[in-house]
Structure 1
Amino acid sequence: MFVRIPKLLNDQALARIDEILAEAPFIDGKKTAGAQAQKVKNNLQMDRENTPDAKEVEGLIAQAVSRHPLIRTMAMPVRVMAPMIARYEVGMGYGIHSDNPFIGGKAGELRSDLSCSVFLSDPDSYEGGDLVAMTDLGPQKIRLPRGDAVIYPTGTLHEVTAVTSGVRLAAVTWMQSRIADPHKRQILAEMDILIQGISKAMPDSAEQRRSSKIFGDLARLWSVD
């Protein structure tokens, strides 16, 4: 499941993020990578400990992810990790890898069911730097407008190709879903979309009430702590 989220961040949020990142220090991204990822990771990450407004940037992105109606439908997130802000300069990329199944420290660890990449740079401002997902149909290039995002299963093999000109900025966060099984999650997402259609076509109808009840019963049955 790959879902594009158009305009996750509005112009006001993007402008504030730009303002903060313009003054933020960045450190070697390998410092937050595991042993395997260190072999293929070549980027910079915002040094959150030395960025005074780091929590504001993280909050703007995490809240947008948590509250977006399409993400709530498709991902049913129960927890959203504070995002990492990545910077790719010329020659930098991130080789083929999959994200860790559990992310965060002991106090805030979550099971990473879904990843979310948020595009912070205008795609015309840099060359290369494509997010490429390895799918059953072969490699799929994902290059979205500034402010858009894509969510995808965390276990997906993917890479960021080397930047050849300009600078690519992106945020990455992870979600733990209320529904761990991706097939059950997809069924509930399709049911939710169906219920939304019924609610518009037949508001306050027996069909609306019945379908909502079935959705709730399945969500309770399939949810995990």
Structure 2
Amino acid sequence: MLIPIHGVLSADEVQLLRERLDSAAWQDGTATAGTVARHVKRNEQLDDADPVAVELGNAIVRRLGEHPLFISAALPAKIYPPKFNRYADGGTYGAHVDSAIMQVPGTQVSVRTDLSATLFLADPEAYDGGALEIEGPFGIQPVKLAAGDMVLYPSSSLHRVTPVTRGARVAAFFWIESMVRDEGERSLLFDLDQSIQALQHTLPPDDPQILKLTGVYHNLLRRWATP
């Protein structure tokens, strides 16, 4: 399931991040690619230990912890600290699948990558190309969102970034280990939660049907979630 989440960051917040990122020390992105991926990856990234990357990544995680749609969709148990990349001058990333397990640099913490996330930090009008193409059961879905918007998608998906032929595509990207490992179960919980929230706009919060559905949601979450 591919889920766009709009307005994670405001226009002013994006501008502040971009001011920091545009003057940061970008490095060749192939340094962090795996054996297969390095042959199809051509971009720039910030070093994980760069103080700018750490500060901005922590700010993004804090914001996501307050975002109800993200919590509903991801049911996060762990979040891999956000990384930052930049594509320009033909930069691209060919078809690849993200690694199943990633270790957080400098720690003993490992993250099972159930969901991948891209937070766009450049307006689509500012660059040509640079679409995130995600392969799913209904074919290839191109994603190119407004600055401040984010997309969630299964880490098991084959995906790519098309060549950037004008301007620069700047984004944050990271991975989530969900409390609910199975994608089908997680999707059902998301649909149920969104339906309950929609009903709460038309019915009183103590309506018996809302209470019953809320109980179903939490009992399913109790059944499917892992510590």
TM superposition score category, shorter chain reference: over 0.9
* Residue 24 in structure 1 maps to residue 40 in structure 2: no
1:209 paired residue number: 211
Question: Is 114-123 or 187-196 further displaced after alignment?
Answer: 187-196
CA contact (8 A) 1:13 1:60 kept: no
Structure 2: distance between partners of 1:116 and 1:95:
17
TM-score by length of 1: 0.94
Sequence identity, in percent? 34
1:175 paired residue number: 176
Structure 2: distance between partners of 1:43 and 1:92:
5
1:147 paired residue number: 148
Structure 2: distance between partners of 1:112 and 1:87:
22
Task: List alignment gaps of at least 5 residues for structure 1.
Answer: none
Structure 1: distance between partners of 2:142 and 2:198:
31
TM-score by length of 2: 0.93
2:138 paired residue number: 137
| Cα separation, partners in 2 of 1:180 and 1:48, compared to 1, 3 Å | closer
CA contact (8 A) 1:121 1:170 kept: yes
2:60 paired residue number: 61
Count of residues in correspondence between the two structures: 224
CA contact (8 A) 1:66 1:80 kept: no
2:220 paired residue number: 218
- Secondary structure at the counterpart of residue 35 of structure 1: coil
Structure 2: distance between partners of 1:168 and 1:148:
13
Structure 2: distance between partners of 1:168 and 1:197:
35
Moved over 3 A (4+): none
**CA-based RMSD:** 1.5
| Cα separation, partners in 2 of 1:128 and 1:197, compared to 1, 3 Å | closer
Task: List alignment gaps of at least 5 residues for structure 2.
Answer: none
